[in-house]
Structure 1
């Protein structure tokens, strides 16, 4: 008899809202940022317009993905308040926000927790040698600062996503160090939901000249992560960056169980389009995998969520149960015109 539960692969029906593309970091592999003097905060009226249209579509997660305004900038407080207001509005309109806004102070994280089901920050790599290369002009990519964010998220009991960026000048020993650092912090606080393994995929805007992280290496990294990380941490791979069906299925066999947020556009990797969920299920079918939607907060730790978020969580749990029961196919990308 087939154990269908063990062949489930999850994803989050998501839409990304970018408060600003401005960022004071200049990572050489970045295809997202604009210069600070070109930055402009999204208007709340525009956010409300987008969310109103999304209410008629199968979107649960609102990913609030922002570039970083410098901590010493006179606009930092306005920036943070806008991110908070976007999350609050998304909650009021029935969605579940997940914010990734780079390095935050403890107080800033505590504030944003009130309007987020979960939050995230890519650790990338803990090796300091990247500060001499791809992170040479990226002050917030100091490994100790990013590890502190994971620690603070644990202290605040924030359900958290982190991950590794692969193929930016690190080696296997660095992968092990990074995964062990994530594991050690999680063991103290039990707050890390998932770890993303993101292969470097060249885009049109970056100055970093390295080639794509080869997909045949990714299953080995997945297996390594599965060996090091506690079983309750889900391993996530981005399917738009693993386009070859053979290696996508190999990653699942090695232990990956989540495909992340699926929506109309990958803002971090805009040159790589998402598949529709119907196409993803088609790709997964030969391996016997079943695609299933999930919330941005995993049910095993949703008791840490502020009470104000609970009604939305319960609503979406019920909705997802109905979708699964009816074997309903959810088509994405989602169009917002």
Structure 2
């Protein structure tokens, strides 16, 4: 595994040297994950697109003033999840803006009409409804939370997630990507990771590259994630996601990372992180996503046959059949996993609420992947 000093020396590596670094990452991936690449067949639930943060690259967030700020109603949530179930989805991913009721009276009033004081209480209710009325497992991406808030959500979440994005304090400055975003404060994000560890919650995190951070920032972000995992052992996957510029945002003209930058960062992540941590990159944000395989990834993340990528709506998901063929052409088999990785399923009640643990024998095969693998018609 790379030391910080060694990792710093990889900045800008290209050509044959980059090939060599990626090859090392690929060898490590094959040693721990074999010739299988995984994905999660899921349905996305954008429970609210309102947020108290205003990140410079985001088009997901809408304000009440725009007339587009929204909170999904229970009937809308259930309808979406049932559509996903009908298409073989196993996971319901709740994605939402962070604590909009703390900024907008409109959000607070809408929640009150639904019988709740906070968005997190509403998330819990809707995740429980998914468990009561469908076969899907909730995964909750609710952003930065306190220990008490996460403890309250654990009984209804098979797993949770929150992108660190970056531990760079510089990005909090005026004119930078995270200015005026209290929930993107690095210490707040890292504390959320620690709380998840203290509560034994199978957790997803990751970094967003190309938003103004330095190479050293990327290294330090990955090292910080890995250090917390070494203490608690709960981080099941790390995402390396490339920034994509979007019209209408403050960063509409900001340069995007190129493919070599992504490959360089993915290989870096694979060689820094504990080998047991799954490494993921979204295939819909890069046309030549097959190149990610040579850089050490073993997972493609969530792909939905029903809902779009609400964070990057202009980027369609690849067809599962096409993804499977691409993997096969590279010598790997594509397999469907659950929102909880096999290692955490084996540990049983340590990581899952007892009621959730009882569902797993019906959903997971002996190898811990999805028992029912989706087959195209």
The answer, yes or no, to whether TM exceeds 0.5 is yes
| Partners of 1:164 and 1:44 in 2: CA distance | 32
Match 1:16 to one of 16, 37, 44: 44
| Partners of 1:16 and 1:205 in 2: CA distance | 24
Q: What SS does structure 1 have at the residue aligned with 2:218?
A: helix
Q: Where does 1:1-337 land on structure 2 (aligned, <5 Å)?
A: 6-36=34-64, 38=67, 39-70=69-100, 72=102, 75=108, 77-92=117-132, 93-132=134-173, 133-208=176-251, 209-244=253-288, 248-263=289-304, 264-302=307-345, 303=348, 304-318=351-365, 323-324=372-373, 329-330=375-376
Distance 1:322 1:87, change over 3 A: closer
| Partners of 1:330 and 1:216 in 2: CA distance | 33
| Partners of 2:147 and 2:372 in 1: CA distance | 38
In the TM superposition, residue 322 of structure 1 has moved relative to its aligned partner by: 5.1
| Partners of 2:308 and 2:72 in 1: CA distance | 17
Kindly report the root-mean-square deviation, in angstroms, between the aligned alpha carbons of the 2 structures.
2.2
| Partners of 2:101 and 2:191 in 1: CA distance | 16
Higher mean alpha-carbon deviation, 9-18 vs 131-140, is at: 131-140
In the TM superposition, residue 317 of structure 1 has moved relative to its aligned partner by: 1.0
> Does the Cα contact within 8 Å between 1:166 and 1:198 map onto a contact in 2?
yes
In the TM superposition, residue 49 of structure 1 has moved relative to its aligned partner by: 2.2
Q: What SS does structure 1 have at the residue aligned with 2:118?
A: helix
In the TM superposition, residue 55 of structure 1 has moved relative to its aligned partner by: 2.8
> Which runs of 5 or more residues in structure 2 are unaligned?
1-29, 112-116
| Partners of 2:64 and 2:159 in 1: CA distance | 27
1:258-280: CA deviation from partner (whole Å, max 9, x where unpaired): 00000131111111110110011
Distance 1:88 1:288, change over 3 A: same
| Partners of 2:194 and 2:210 in 1: CA distance | 25
TM-score (norm 1): 0.90
Q: What SS does structure 1 have at the residue aligned with 2:80?
A: helix
| Partners of 1:136 and 1:81 in 2: CA distance | 27
| Partners of 1:329 and 1:119 in 2: CA distance | 27
1:238-284: CA deviation from partner (whole Å, max 9, x where unpaired): 0001211xxx3332122110000001311111111101100111222
> Does the Cα contact within 8 Å between 1:193 and 1:234 map onto a contact in 2?
yes
Q: What SS does structure 2 have at the residue aligned with 1:224?
A: helix
Largest Rg, 1 or 2: 2
> Does the Cα contact within 8 Å between 2:56 and 2:177 map onto a contact in 1?
yes
| Partners of 2:234 and 2:160 in 1: CA distance | 11
> Does the Cα contact within 8 Å between 2:337 and 2:370 map onto a contact in 1?
no
In the TM superposition, residue 140 of structure 1 has moved relative to its aligned partner by: 0.9
> Does the Cα contact within 8 Å between 2:338 and 2:370 map onto a contact in 1?
no
> Which runs of 5 or more residues in structure 1 are unaligned?
332-337
Higher mean alpha-carbon deviation, 304-313 vs 187-196, is at: 304-313
1:80-107: CA deviation from partner (whole Å, max 9, x where unpaired): 2211111111112111110101122221
